[in-house]
């Protein structure tokens, strides 16, 4: 459950539960986009090109909306939305996600106050 935070517009966003979904959808959309490019370049694949084209179009719209909602909820930086809306599309979002996760670009690190009492742990 997400805890309400006071609204501070100039704070850096902290990746949360929705950011995980942004990452998953970005990779799925990238796979659909690569499939579209493959079938577009392959001769005689008009039906597959159409199917992957529709999938990419709908998937890209869903990806942009999910990233936008994550930006509004302060779980993703707006630069990720900008990277997604470049002509590279899902490639830009995956590159943006990798820069956020590996370099910490545009985000604040989550504050940890100890172990989460609601988190499941494996017993060995």
Least confident of 27-41, 66-80, 105-119: 105-119
Which pLDDT does position 14 carry in this prediction?
A: 79
Per DSSP, the residues of 59-106 read HHHHHHHHHHHHHHTTSS-HHHHHHHTSTTTHHHHHHHHHHHHHH-TT
Q: What is the pLDDT confidence band of residue 104, given thresholds at 50, 70 and 90?
A: confident
Q: How far is CA 105 from the centre of its chain?
A: 14
Q: For residue 12, what is the DSSP state?
A: P
Q: Are 93 and 26 in contact (CB under 8 A)?
A: yes
């Amino acid at each position: 459950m997400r805890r309400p935070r006071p609204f501070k517009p100039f704070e850096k966003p902290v990746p949360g539960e929705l950011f995980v979904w942004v990452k998953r959808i970005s990779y799925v959309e990238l796979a659909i986009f690569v499939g579209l490019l493959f079938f577009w370049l392959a001769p005689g694949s008009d039906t597959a090109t159409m199917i992957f084209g529709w999938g990419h179009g709908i998937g890209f719209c869903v990806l942009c909306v999910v990233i936008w909602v994550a930006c509004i909820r302060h779980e993703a930086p707006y630069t990720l939305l900008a990277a997604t809306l470049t002509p590279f599309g899902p490639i830009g979002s995956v590159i943006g996600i990798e820069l956020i996760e590996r370099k910490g670009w545009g985000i604040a690190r989550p504050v940890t106050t100890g172990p989460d009492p609601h988190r499941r742990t494996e017993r060995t």
